[in-house]
Amino acid sequence: MIDIKLIRDEEGRNKVKENIKKKYQEEKLPLVDEIYTLDVEYLKVKQEMDIKRGEKNKLSAEIGTLMRDKKIDEANEIKTRVSSMGEEIETLTKREAELSSIIKEKMMVIPNIVAEDVPIGKDDSENVERERFGEALVPSFEIPYHADILAKFNALDKEASGRTSGNGFYYLMGDAARLSSAMLSYARDFMIEKGFTYCIPPFMIRSDVVTGVMSFAEMDAMMYKIEGEDLYLIGTSEHSMIGKFKDQILKPESLPITMTSYSPCFRKEVGAHGIEERGIYRVHQFEKQEMIVLCEPEDSNEWYEKMWKYTVDLFRSLDIPVRKLECCTGDLADLKYKSCDIEAWSPRQQKYFEVGSCSNLTDAQARRLGIRVKSEKGNYYLHTLNNTVLASTRALIALLENNYNEDGSINIPKALQPYMGGKTKIEPVK
């Protein structure tokens, strides 16, 4: 959520409108003027209410003096005026609360101001490749589809999960399941070595946290609601980790806060892409190692650069080539100031696919959640960032394809061997 001060002057309103156009959300343009009109009334009501409260307090003090001086009639006359003013103040208070609620609801829909260097584009097809890391090789032999690779190890059972849970779920078994867990454990330790505090967060969060960390459109497309409860299953652990600081006032010396978390993730995956029938690329449930940072506003750009590079370093340590893809304006979620995807090389498809995403949300998320810093100059909102360390299913696909041998075996990268009991490769089931 942006600062309402941006809408209170003409220059700021124009900036907000230009930003909306950059994001190809022209249908939201009328909201800016609507908010401005409502805010003018809100400030007027608030001012009038403050004046009347001051007058009421002054008159109330006079009543005591008049009563002591036995001026009962004058005291009663002022009591009547105070009572009438009380009713007026109550009416103004209700209107102030009503206007505040309407303004907040509309402000929640206005997208965050994007960084000046974000490429302009309508959707993810116009994202821009910035850099590649590692040589993207295509072997001389054919690499099977990842579901077929897993079948060689008797590792994937979607038929059984269809009976127990429906489409979009899976059973992962044997060495492949162990390899998936090894990757997550390695990712955890990788981030701990970077100085991040390890956290296992709640896997369900309340609605006020959900609306604080994401837009309404994202919420409807992603989140599973627990029937009869004010609880949602998390789609990513950054939501509950950031939610940990909701309505908190932090001390400057506590910043930056750097945390890395493990969690299962649950997603509806609503949209045109649908759910993958055979494989595990797009599913309703997976596991993830995540990282978040809460920092001073002037430090968030530096942290953004550090965070996406951590993901690159991790995948390169697993012998997986990757690239950085800068997200264009139309592909940025409403709370994001800047974002990039890390994509892994698929030698089977001979193209890259998304395995992680890094985002700087500046103070937009902190405003929605009420996370502030207390200083001598007053309280202010900090900046929040998040980044995928490793998402289990997609990272496993990338590892299987990039470490696949012609005989069907999978080389285990050196970094993972200690987590696999010293194994250097896994062999297909005979």
Q: Provide the pLDDT for residue 272.
A: 47
- Is the sign of the CA dihedral 183, 294, 328, 368 positive or negative? positive
What sections of 317-428 are H helices per DSSP?
Answer: 364-369, 392-402
8 A C-beta contact, residue 367 and residue 297 = no
Q: How far apart are CA 24 and CA 209, in angstroms?
A: 27
User: What secondary structure does DSSP assign to 259-286, as a single string?
Assistant: EEEEEEEE----STT---SSSSSS-SEE
Q: What pLDDT, in 10s, does the model give residues 69-125? A: 677 777 777 777 777 777 888 889 999 999 999 999 999 999 999 999 999 999 999
8 A C-beta contact, residue 110 and residue 16 = yes
- Is the sign of the CA dihedral 323, 297, 336, 198 positive or negative? positive
**Residue 170: HSE in the Cβ half-sphere, 13 Å Cα cutoff:** 27
Q: Which domains does the chain have, with CATH numbers?
A: 4-107 (1.10.287.40), 124-426 (3.30.930.10)
- Token pair 């099977």 is found at 144
Q: Provide the pLDDT for residue 276.
A: 64
Q: How far apart are CA 334 and CA 221, in angstroms?
A: 14
Q: Radius of gyration of the chain from Cα atoms?
A: 27
Closest alpha carbon to 133 in 398, 400, 404, 418: 398
What H or E segment, with its residue span, contains residue 222?
Answer: helix 216-222
Q: What pLDDT, in 10s, does the model give residues 378-392? A: 999 999 999 999 999
What phi and psi, each to the nearest 5 degrees, are found at residue 283?
-135, 170
- Other Cβ atoms less than 10 A from the Cβ of 105: the count is 11
Q: How far apart are CA 260 and CA 190, in angstroms?
A: 10
Q: Reduced to 3 states, what is the DSSP secondary structure of residue 409?
A: coil
8 A C-beta contact, residue 82 and residue 63 = yes
Low pLDDT (below 70) residues in the chain: 61, 64, 68-69, 270-276
Classify strands 351-360 and 372-375 as parallel, antiparallel or unpaired. Answer: unpaired
